[in-house]
């Protein structure tokens, strides 16, 4: 049985930046998740009353490196919006892209007034259960990439099934479809053509992320005194993020990225959120990885003071 539940495949996508909501205030520019599509942002489009743009993967998106992808999005953003302040958001695995874009914007002298992560944080890529446990498998280990890919896919499938507290049959079909695409013997569920296309995109994206993280790690090692032993923690990624000046907000879902953690560990100390950013707010929402996008608290938080300004302008 084929279950084609994926939508908006690459062949149907045009512009990299899609303007979901027009307005007078600076747009919140939110970056796609790991699948590259902005289909999941429909609840944001319906709920927002302020300016909202989205970035999606298209045929024009660079595939050879994450750095090239970051630079491409930076150029697209500045071509569409010459002057700031800039507001950047990231859903899921694009969190690392968002940091890269903000660093480019700020290093060019531009003002970034908002950086928002939705149910993700860059250090989770090198965190036990969610990515590579560096205390067990250093990034330079030949097994690290395979572990990273497997952990990332397993986490994606688990969060997809857990969405809506596990009661959404569409999410289960989506997970089954994607899992079949990854299986050598899919059994009764044959993967749809679009799921196979997404598999290629996800694999390429995750490999680009791994290469980028590995390069950050190697650069950090080169800068260190050679008399020090190799680090096996997240210090290199935390230091990479610490140069960001923009105010940061992190919205996490209890049965999404936090699903494997006890409530007392929300947010998990091993993510090093507070160490990475001085000006950061963490908001925990009772939600899943996808249905967090439907939560009023997220909509209000992302729009921030612009909601107040919009309300006052109508008085």
Question: Does residue 273 lie in a domain region?
Answer: yes
Q: Domain containing 182 — which CATH number?
A: 3.40.50.1820
Is the pLDDT at 130 greater than 70, yes or no?
yes
Which residues partner with 251 through β-bridges? 118, 283
Mean pLDDT to the nearest integer, 241-264? 95
Is the pLDDT at 1 greater than 80, yes or no?
no
Mean pLDDT to the nearest integer, 112-138? 95
Question: Does residue 225 lie in a domain region?
Answer: yes
CA–centroid distance for 179 within its chain: 20
Contact residues for 172 (Cβ-Cβ < 8 A; gap 6+): 160, 161, 166
* pLDDT score at 3: 36
Question: Does residue 197 lie in a domain region?
Answer: yes
Contact residues for 48 (Cβ-Cβ < 8 A; gap 6+): 20, 21, 28, 299, 302, 303
Contact residues for 188 (Cβ-Cβ < 8 A; gap 6+): 1
Question: Does residue 147 lie in a domain region?
Answer: yes
Question: Does residue 240 lie in a domain region?
Answer: yes
Please state whether 92 falls in left (phi above 0), alpha (psi between -120 and 50) or beta.
left
Mean pLDDT to the nearest integer, 33-61? 95
Q: How many domains does the chain have?
A: 1
State the SS3 of 58-93.
Answer: CCCCCCCCHHHHHHHHHHHHHHHCCCCCEEEEEEHH
Question: Does residue 158 lie in a domain region?
Answer: yes
10-37 pLDDT, tens digit each: 556 689 999 999 999 999 999 999 989 9
Question: Does residue 144 lie in a domain region?
Answer: yes
Mean pLDDT to the nearest integer, 98-126? 98
Mean pLDDT computed over every residue of the chain? 90
Residue 44, SS3? helix
Question: Does residue 4 lie in a domain region?
Answer: no
Range of the domain at 305: 10-313
Is the pLDDT at 39 greater than 80, yes or no?
yes
* pLDDT score at 265: 83
Is the pLDDT at 230 greater than 60, yes or no?
no
C-alpha distances (whole Å) from 48 to each of 70, 149, 185 are: 26, 34, 43
Whether residue 277 contacts residue 246, with contact meaning beta carbons closer than 8 Å, is answered with no
Whether residue 181 contacts residue 173, with contact meaning beta carbons closer than 8 Å, is answered with no
């Amino acid at each position: 049985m084929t279950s084609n539940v994926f939508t908006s495949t690459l062949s149907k996508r045009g512009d990299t930046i899609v303007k979901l909501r027009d307005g007078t205030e600076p747009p919140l520019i939110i970056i796609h998740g790991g699948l590259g599509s902005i289909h999941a942002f429909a609840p944001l489009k319906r709920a927002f009353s302020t300016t909202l743009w989205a970035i999606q993967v298209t045929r024009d998106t660079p595939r050879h490196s994450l750095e090239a992808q970051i630079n491409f999005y930076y150029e697209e953003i500045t071509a569409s919006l010459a002057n700031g302040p800039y507001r950047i958001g990231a859903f899921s695995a694009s969190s690392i892209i968002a940091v890269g874009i903000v660093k480019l914007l700020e290093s060019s002298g531009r003002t970034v007034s908002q950086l928002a992560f939705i149910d993700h944080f860059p250090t989770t890529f090198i965190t036990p259960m969610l990515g590579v446990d560096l205390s067990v498998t250093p990034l330079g280990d030949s097994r690290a990439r395979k572990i990273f890919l497997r952990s990332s896919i397993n986490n994606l499938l688990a969060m997809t099934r857990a969405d809506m507290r596990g009661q959404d049959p569409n999410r289960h079909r989506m997970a089954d479809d994607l899992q079949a695409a990854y299986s050598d013997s899919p059994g009764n569920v044959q993967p749809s053509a679009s799921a196979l296309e997404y598999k290629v995109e996800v694999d390429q994206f995750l490999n680009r992320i791994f290469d980028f993280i590995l390069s950050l790690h190697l650069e950090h090692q080169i800068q260190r005194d050679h008399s020090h032993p190799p680090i096996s923690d997240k210090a290199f990624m935390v230091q990479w993020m610490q140069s960001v000046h923009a105010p940061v907000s992190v919205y996490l879902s209890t049965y999404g990225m936090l699903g494997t953690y006890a409530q007392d560990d929300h947010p998990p100390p091993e993510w090093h959120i507070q160490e990475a950013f001085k000006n950061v707010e963490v908001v925990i929402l009772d939600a899943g990885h996808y249905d967090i996008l439907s939560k009023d608290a997220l909509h209000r938080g992302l729009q921030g003071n612009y909601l107040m300004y919009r309300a006052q302008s109508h008085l």
